[in-house]
Amino acid sequence: MWSWLTRKTERSEGQALLQRLRERYPVYAAPHAYRRDGQLLSLAQAQENLEYLQTQRPTRLRIASDFLHTEAGVDVAVALAGAEPAALLDGLHRWSLRVFPALQKAAPQLARDEVWLASDRRGPEIVYSLLMDLALLLGELILIRRPAFQWALDLDEGNLLDGMDSVRRPVLQFLPTSTAAGDASMPPVQLDVEALVVHRYREPDSPSLQWMNGWAQLVHEARSGAYERVF
């Protein structure tokens, strides 16, 4: 009985949040969906998406900050001003543990990769506007400390051949110039932050989430320079 009531309550809460998002949350209106009928974006279309991200980033961070202050009771502005983000990341983790199961159960048909990749982030799919803004926020917390990373497109030929979801999507990227010996170019380090956020939304009941804050781990490791020191 308790389990049934819990699921029903979660669905109700998730439906209420989805409705608030549809009514009040501004759409992340990138020019192109990542996939249409299984087709990969052209390079020109992917570049337009990246340009949208770069020009709209300040606006989207303000939107995320206002939303999270109201819905999660966290202060984004302090961390974006340069303070250590541990408290913010802990708050986001606790909020996601409470809210993401409800969002997923409210509309399980949306929580699939094929929906995400083809989404225009409008209407019922407005949840993907929120998830993209969360990814931008996590990315910004990294960029504040590690400007060697930049938002860029995944143009890695190996990823293209492997059919990776990151191909021609914006990722955080660090471009090492050489090996330690200084005699060869190295592939870029790419952090698919949006995919990490979407994965948590898709699988909110994963046992690992109960004991590990993967968002905080990514941000702290990147801010420490760990992904750059391997070269």
Percent of the chain with pLDDT over 90: 77
Least confident window among 10-14, 50-54, 62-66, 175-179? 175-179
* Mean pLDDT, the chain, integer: 90
Q: What is the pLDDT of residues 101-139, one digit of tens each?
A: 999 999 999 999 999 999 999 998 999 999 999 999 999
Confidence of residue 6 (pLDDT cuts 50, 70, 90): very low
Q: What is the pLDDT of residues 144-169, one digit of tens each?
A: 999 999 999 999 999 999 989 999 99
User: What pLDDT sits at residue 3?
Assistant: 53
User: What pLDDT sits at residue 153?
Assistant: 97
SS (H, E, C) the chain: CHHHHHHHHHHHHHHHHHHHHHHHCCCCCCCCCCEECCEECCHHHHHHHHHHHHHHHHHHHHHHHHHHHHHCCCCHHHHHCCCCCHHHHHHHHHHHHHHHHHHHHHCHHHCCHHHHHHCCCCHHHHHHHHHHHHHHHHHHHHHHHCCCEEEEEECCHHHHHHCCCCECCEEEEECCCCCCCCCCCCCCEEECHHHHHHHHHHCCCCHHHHCCCHHHHHHHHHHHCCCCCCC
Least confident window among 4-8, 21-25, 71-75, 207-211? 4-8
The residue ranges of every structural domain in the chain are: 2-26+37-224
Q: State yes or no: pLDDT of 4 exceeds 90.
A: no
User: What pLDDT sits at residue 5?
Assistant: 37
Q: What is the pLDDT of residues 161-213, one digit of tens each?
A: 998 999 999 999 998 875 544 445 678 899 999 999 999 999 988 888 778 99
User: What pLDDT sits at residue 208?
Assistant: 84
User: What pLDDT sits at residue 1?
Assistant: 40
User: What pLDDT sits at residue 135?
Assistant: 98
Q: Between these two residues, 137 and 37, which has the higher pLDDT value?
A: 137
